[in-house]
Structure 1
């Protein structure tokens, strides 16, 4: 029987509020050796998540170049996805967690199994998942390592 997420998660994860500045976010991630931080409101409701890849954008100026385009009859037609480009531009000028975070992150509940957490982590190629209750409050974070250790113990 697979352990539950509540048994393997970090029940006191480091998180930030939506108004936290980018510099402080980087400091917290560095100080705590974390690849990402959940963003929560004053009531502890999960609003989003910030990952290293969100922050790496600042070192990649090419990430904000528009997709290839052609001009036809006075208009511009983009040959690639504009949605991805718009998101990267928005994040490149972000000053707060709310502006930088990814909204609506993949989450799991504390009563789910470690196997379920492993499936979500693998399917979505994440290293960690926020754990939320039925009202969306952040109650923990479970990592790929937590899941692997739990699954190895089950053998």
Structure 2
């Protein structure tokens, strides 16, 4: 089984319309206990994401230009040096969610594999992704915490799924989501495939290889590019 975003996402999402005022955005972030949320247009389509950092730009730039002793944190200095100064200054003047938001938003879909969502978060350095339907309308949100839920599967559940995937051709034991495979295959390639299939099961932390094989069919393959 490959878990999808739909299996772990949250459907009750804190979100704001792009016309929502600064105070409304701040109040909702605090009351819902979140550090960021989607910004929507009038058709419920995701047009951006607004975060605590976006709101803090106002105070950061105020102190930067008017505070004698203010020294921006390292992250802010790197951001300013990288050329996003204009964006930060724009946000410091913002009055609505549309002014403050980061756009376009990085989004995912309900049918996306959770590994794809995890890679997207890592690539863009974000902690959450709005989940949208084919029309771009908000249907949920998925966070890093949601994605690690897959590793909470019970050992017995994982063991049964691995046995099914391997058609009972290897002995399977699971402890703390670590799978150990033992037994003998006719061909080495079959053992390699078994290890790959077990490792692809959702919730598996690692696979320990205690498999044997009677014939190394991989070594028999011709070497291309040789003399």
Q: Which range, TM-score by smaller chain?
A: 0.7 to 0.9
Determine the structure 2 residue equivalent to 1:15.
15
Cα drift, residue 131 of structure 1: 0.6
Task: Tell me the TM-score normalised to structure 2 length.
Answer: 0.58
**Greater Cα radius of gyration, structure 1 or 2:** 2
Q: CA 1:82 to 1:112, structure 2 compared with 1: closer, same or farther past 3 Å?
A: closer
Of the structure 1 ranges 86-95 and 119-128, higher mean CA displacement relative to structure 2 is found in 119-128
Determine the structure 1 residue equivalent to 2:190.
none
On the 8 A contact 2:61/2:89 being kept in 1, the answer is no
On the 8 A contact 1:64/1:85 being kept in 2, the answer is no
SS of the equivalent of 2:48 reads strand
- Coordinate RMSD, CA, aligned: 1.9
Q: Deviations over 1:1-46 (max 9, x none)?
A: 3311011111121110011001110110000001101011121111
Cα drift, residue 58 of structure 1: 2.2
Aligned length, in residue pairs: 141
Structure with more relative contact order (C-alpha pairs < 8 Å, separation 6 or more) = 1
Find the aligned partners of 1:99 and 1:6 in 2 and give their Cα distance.
30
Determine the structure 2 residue equivalent to 1:147.
147
Determine the structure 1 residue equivalent to 2:46.
46
Cα drift, residue 104 of structure 1: 0.8
Instruction: For structure 2, list consecutive stretches of 5 or more residues without a partner in the other structure.
Output: 66-79, 154-202, 205-227
Alignment of 1:72-151 (within 5 A): 83-151=83-151
Find the aligned partners of 1:5 and 1:37 in 2 and give their Cα distance.
17
Instruction: For structure 1, list consecutive stretches of 5 or more residues without a partner in the other structure.
Output: 66-79
Determine the structure 2 residue equivalent to 1:72.
none
Task: Tell me the TM-score normalised to structure 1 length.
Answer: 0.83
Residue 31 in 1 paired to residue 31 in 2?
yes
